[in-house]
Amino acid sequence: MRITTPLKQRPVDYIYLAFFIVNILFITYIVDLEQLVIKDPAHFNYPFWPRPFFIDMIHWWGNTFDPLQAARPVWWKATIWLDVIIFGPYYLFATYAFIKGKEWIRIPTFIYASILFTNVFIICSEEIWGPIHAINLPMVLLANAPWFLFPVFLIWKMWKNEFPFTRAT
């Protein structure tokens, strides 16, 4: 028999929850969705969502630091589609699972983290060595670091313990 370790006794999980929530509320369905809704950031009409403030902020980032975001090659959009279709729902389920201590999230976390790490590795490779490289590489790498590091930390958390949220009675 196993009992759930309360969230308040798993303080590191609050960091994971913050990451999931930022992705749900801002990255996946504002920043990433904008890149699917607006095909050409140089010529567009503002859609209903994301709101103009967010679109202007995203375009400022691309113009100031990260031209890859504005170029939107097909492979880039493919990673964005994965974020919207797979990662967004994962963040919702993971938020619930981490709060409630549900261990069924362990295997989906391996899958999610592996895909995310691969995507960010490819994106950062383009930013460093590709033809559409970052204008300000340190800033872009720093901005991408959480999506590079969190998958590693999540895999480590789930790998080191078959029961990451419960303990034997």
**pLDDT tens for residues 49-62?**
999 999 999 999 99
The mean pLDDT value for 61-82 works out to 96
Residues in the chain: 169
Q: How many helices and strands in the chain, by DSSP H and E?
A: 8, 2
The mean pLDDT value for 114-141 works out to 97
Who contacts 44 (Cβ-Cβ below 8 Å, separation ≥6)? 38
pTM above threshold 0.85: yes
Helix (H, G, I), strand (E, B), or coil: what is residue 167? strand
Q: At 162, is the pLDDT very low, low, confident or very high (cuts 50, 70, 90)?
A: very high
Report d(CA 90, CA 87) in Å as an integer.
Answer: 5
The mean pLDDT value for 37-48 works out to 96
The mean pLDDT value for 53-80 works out to 97
Taking only the tens place, the pLDDT of each residue in 5-30 is 999 999 999 999 999 999 999 999 99
The mean pLDDT value for 90-116 works out to 98
pLDDT for 149: 98
Please, what is the Cα angle at 29 between 140 and 95, to 5 degrees? 95
